[in-house]
Structure 1
Amino acid sequence: MVLLKSCFSLEPLFCRFFYLFGTFVYRYRWPIVVIPPLLSACFSVGFIWVFDLRVDDPAYVFTPRDARWKRELGTFSRLWPLDENKFIAGKSFETKRFVNILCKAKDGGNVLQPEILDEIDLLNRFISENITVPTTDGRFQLSYQDLCLGYDWKCSANEHIEMFRQMTQVGRVIELTYPKGGNKDTPAYLGTAIGDIKLNKTDGTVQAAKIIQMFFFLKQEPANVRKYSTDFEYAVERFLLHGFESPLIDISFAHYQSIEDGLDENARRFFPNFVTSVIALTIFCIACAFTFRVHNENKSKISIDWIRSKPLVACAGLLTTLFALISSFGLLLLLGIPYNVINTIIPFLIIAVGVDDMFVLNACWSATAKSKNFNC
């Protein structure tokens, strides 16, 4: 017969600790009941600054602080800094205010048709010349011509659209090969201007394309100009969503804040689901906390066993989880720690863990011998 050697275990130590802790909690039950809600109320003051500390920049939200790409981007930005008066699209790595628009024909055909190009050019001119945003004092209206990044004080005006419109004339001088066209004197890069293309099999020149992209690059320094550029982005968004109609083309667009707005919309959509989930979990937990018994003298009579039922334990388990959420988030906000919007899902996860712990408490209570004295 082989005797097993005794092994060191933490379980007896934990059992002893929680037994003593339970005795302490029961002895000083009223201070322990009152103090946590008061602490949670104090820490909840931190939620006043939740919008000031809120961070929804995708570069911060989804990447580590010391990510390698940040160092590499810093190197590119240092070697090719953004100059708002010497701006060349594709040679700057710091553009943080822009609007990109993709245009395609409604019939899914070639966008290099004259009537389609005229419609795209009309949209380009309208955005460049007619959409404006007011200054803070309301004295001026700023258009794209005031906010654009350009070269030698001349805005980028999506010249490739006009080039395609005049393709019959330009084609005699510039070979529209893809993605790099033109010659040594007049180079033209079409890789970001058109998409879903069809090339001529004989000479490799562009024969048809189904997508044209337009770019509107905006100034981002100083801070007040950056605000106006942001306002212009949203003004273009409102126009494209609610004001633009065309029988010839369909569009899709994005601007610098599009991902941030998507994260914010996701958080707003999550909140009603979170409230609904909490209410459903609360009802479920309280319902599961009741124990029913059948009377011996009358088998058809069923009543609640108030000795074994502990709905207050279920409520306490849920409340302590909510107090923990409020206290932890509030304290971190009081300390000035930024609130990452990706953490919006965390409260639901914490409540799920709290509900699980509550069922453990109820299971422990149910497993307790009925002959035990509940007083310490």
Structure 2
Amino acid sequence: MGKRKPARYNSCHHPQTKQAITATLTESYGQFVGRHEVVFIVLPLLVFGLLGLGILKMEYESDVEHLYTPINSQAAQDRDKMKASFPDRTGTNYNTYSLNVEDRYGEIIAISEGNIFSNTSTSDMRNLVDTIKQFEVDFEGRTLHYSDVCARASDMCVISGGFLLQDDFLSSLEQRNVTYPLWNDVDISFFVSGVNVSGEVLQSASVMKLTFHLRQDNDTMQEYALLWEDAFISNMSSLSATFFPIGVSFATSQSLGDELNENTNGDVFWFSLSFTLLITYASFVSGGDCVSSKSHVTRAGVMAAGLGILGSFGLMSLCGVKFVNIVGIMPFLVLSVGVDDMFLMVSAWADTNQYGDDWDIPKRLGHTFRLAGIGMTITSLTDLVAFLVGYSSVFLSVKNFCLYTVFGMGNAVLLMPVILSLVGPMPKDDHPSPHNLSEQGDKNIYKVEDECAPGSASRSTSSVSTLNRSELASTGSFAVSNVGYVSTNVT
């Protein structure tokens, strides 16, 4: 008996895998998009444009302690018990050591080239303090000054270090009766620096620090205090250096949060620059003229990512999720993922050019989604799952950042069909049809999509054949899979 030939593997009888089922679903979805391109262009623009209006209701959270300490931590619970047992008395009997919350204040540090306690510097410091007390805050038709919001003790505003400018201290200093660091049971090293001491007697100093404490014993006074701090920064920034010959640095209890927010605001410039560069790059790589090229499609891909970001900001604002400074990173993440998906889809669309007019727009879109849909789905889902897990963080800043990012990426993915919806009204690419290969010359690369197509010969080869006119005439029906461009002989 002769040797039995090994059985040939026929992929036509191989059961569908989950990947094949997913590809079929994405192909069906792509065809649906192609048949309703106007809906997939107008409806997302309308919906996400309206969502973007929610930004008008955006609220900000910049309290560093609230953002970067664990939610419902043991420390927070213990502090709540302390608040209940020892109420805030900053409006009547302020004492730094009795505070159970972060202090609210405005602070200045004055630096003199000589002695800060000289007559000239002392006069300048007193003028500066009087000016600060006159800073105005307008709130609901009422004008507030420091005396309206200051922390009090013995019915007087508390200014730490203020005693350094009083006559009794200056008189004692002049008579060389001020000991350092303790004077009348007060540690003055908290308020002066660059000191000149002789035999524990203070001779001079070059630096003085004054702190203007604020009330926060109820919600209204806390709001007043925050507004006064803003006015303090604004007014101190606008004061001319020539008005106060001494050098003055200043800060408030919100300075750290303000600096973080300032850095976030600076990201707006870089995001705008990134957006512009991506649009420019996408336009160049698409090539061609303004009518037949897909440069408008690639621009639409970048815009789709931007629209997803806008929708995320608006939706989160409508839901009351506060904007925190690290959310400023989110647009860069969404833009990068969205643009990557866009290039995948445009590349898959270009793969359908070989079929020319034989495939209508819905069929080409279905093929595009079949090729790019699985990869986009998997990568997008992994990103979404990662940020959903991040939402379980105990830090409010991380929770809000992850929530904004999840919806931003989700929106960008949902808007991807808008990109290819735009190809429906655009001119078709001028590429050869498979039935017109003879018009292109004796040698043409021909790619057949499915080796199991009806009427085709059953072949195990997974290649692309290079055919001439005579071979096309002799083969009749043939089939080659779309795995690669490897030339082989047809027999």
Counterpart of 1:278?
275
Deviation at 1:198, TM superposition (A): 5.7
- Of 361-370 and 94-103, more deviation after overlay is shown by 361-370
For residue 25 of structure 1, the aligned residue among 22, 30, 33 is: 33
Question: What SS does structure 1 have at the residue aligned with 2:354?
Answer: coil
Counterpart of 2:126?
121
Counterpart of 1:43?
51
**Runs of 4 or more off by more than 6 Å in structure 1?**
none
Identity, % of aligned pairs? Answer: 21
Deviation at 1:314, TM superposition (A): 0.8
Residue 101 (structure 1) aligned with residue 108 (structure 2)? yes
Tell me the amino acid that sits aligned with residue 65 of structure 1. I
For the residues of structure 1 that align with 2:342 and 2:139, how far apart are their CA atoms? 56
Question: What SS does structure 1 have at the residue aligned with 2:96?
Answer: coil
Tell me the amino acid that sits aligned with residue 98 of structure 2. K
Deviation at 1:214, TM superposition (A): 0.5
Q: Is the 8 A contact 2:286 2:294 kept in 1?
A: yes
Counterpart of 1:195?
193
* 1:352–1:155 CA distance, 2 compared to 1 (3 A): same
Q: Is the 8 A contact 2:173 2:203 kept in 1?
A: no
Residue 219 (structure 1) aligned with residue 212 (structure 2)? no
Q: TM-score, normalised by structure 1?
A: 0.73
For the residues of structure 1 that align with 2:107 and 2:54, how far apart are their CA atoms? 38
For residue 155 of structure 2, the aligned residue among 153, 156, 168 is: 153
For the residues of structure 2 that align with 1:273 and 1:19, how far apart are their CA atoms? 37
* 1:89–1:362 CA distance, 2 compared to 1 (3 A): same
Residue 253 (structure 1) aligned with residue 250 (structure 2)? yes
Question: What SS does structure 2 have at the residue aligned with 1:212?
Answer: strand
For the residues of structure 1 that align with 2:138 and 2:31, how far apart are their CA atoms? 67
Q: Is the 8 A contact 1:114 1:165 kept in 2?
A: no
Q: 1:52-67 counterparts in 2 under 5 A? A: 53-66=59-72
* 1:208–1:222 CA distance, 2 compared to 1 (3 A): same
For the residues of structure 1 that align with 2:352 and 2:217, how far apart are their CA atoms? 68
For the residues of structure 2 that align with 1:228 and 1:278, how far apart are their CA atoms? 39
For the residues of structure 1 that align with 2:84 and 2:175, how far apart are their CA atoms? 37
Tell me the amino acid that sits aligned with residue 127 of structure 2. L
Residue 362 (structure 1) aligned with residue 346 (structure 2)? yes
Deviation at 1:277, TM superposition (A): 3.3
Deviation at 1:78, TM superposition (A): 5.0
Deviation at 1:111, TM superposition (A): 2.8
Structure with the higher fraction of residues in helix conformation: 2
Tell me the amino acid that sits aligned with residue 213 of structure 1. K
Q: Is the 8 A contact 2:301 2:342 kept in 1?
A: yes
For the residues of structure 1 that align with 2:254 and 2:260, how far apart are their CA atoms? 10
* 1:117–1:355 CA distance, 2 compared to 1 (3 A): same
Structure with the higher fraction of residues in strand conformation: 1
CA deviation profile, 1:11-48 (whole Å, cap 9, x unmatched): 55654443343334334444333332232234234223
Counterpart of 1:336?
320
* 1:68–1:206 CA distance, 2 compared to 1 (3 A): farther
Q: Is the 8 A contact 1:98 1:217 kept in 2?
A: yes
Unmatched tracts of structure 2, length 5 or more: 1-16, 364-491
* 1:329–1:87 CA distance, 2 compared to 1 (3 A): same
* 1:242–1:30 CA distance, 2 compared to 1 (3 A): closer
Q: TM-score, normalised by structure 2?
A: 0.58
Residue 210 (structure 1) aligned with residue 216 (structure 2)? no
Q: 1:298-309 counterparts in 2 under 5 A? A: 306=292, 309=293
Tell me the amino acid that sits aligned with residue 94 of structure 1. V
Q: 1:318-329 counterparts in 2 under 5 A? A: 318-329=302-313
Deviation at 1:257, TM superposition (A): 4.2
Deviation at 1:333, TM superposition (A): 2.4
Counterpart of 2:99?
92
* 1:210–1:169 CA distance, 2 compared to 1 (3 A): closer
How large is the RMSD of aligned CA atoms in angstroms?
Answer: 3.7
For the residues of structure 1 that align with 2:271 and 2:244, how far apart are their CA atoms? 42
Counterpart of 2:295?
311
Q: Indicate the structure (1 or 2) with the bigger Cα radius of gyration.
A: 2
Counterpart of 2:455?
none
Counterpart of 1:240?
236
Question: What SS does structure 2 have at the residue aligned with 1:339?
Answer: coil
Question: What SS does structure 1 have at the residue aligned with 2:98?
Answer: coil
Deviation at 1:160, TM superposition (A): 3.2
Deviation at 1:193, TM superposition (A): 1.3
CA deviation profile, 1:131-170 (whole Å, cap 9, x unmatched): 45567555xx654334321212122241134365234368
Unmatched tracts of structure 1, length 5 or more: 1-8, 292-302
Q: Is the 8 A contact 1:86 1:152 kept in 2?
A: yes
Q: Is the 8 A contact 2:117 2:205 kept in 1?
A: yes
Tell me the amino acid that sits aligned with residue 85 of structure 1. T
Deviation at 1:98, TM superposition (A): 1.9
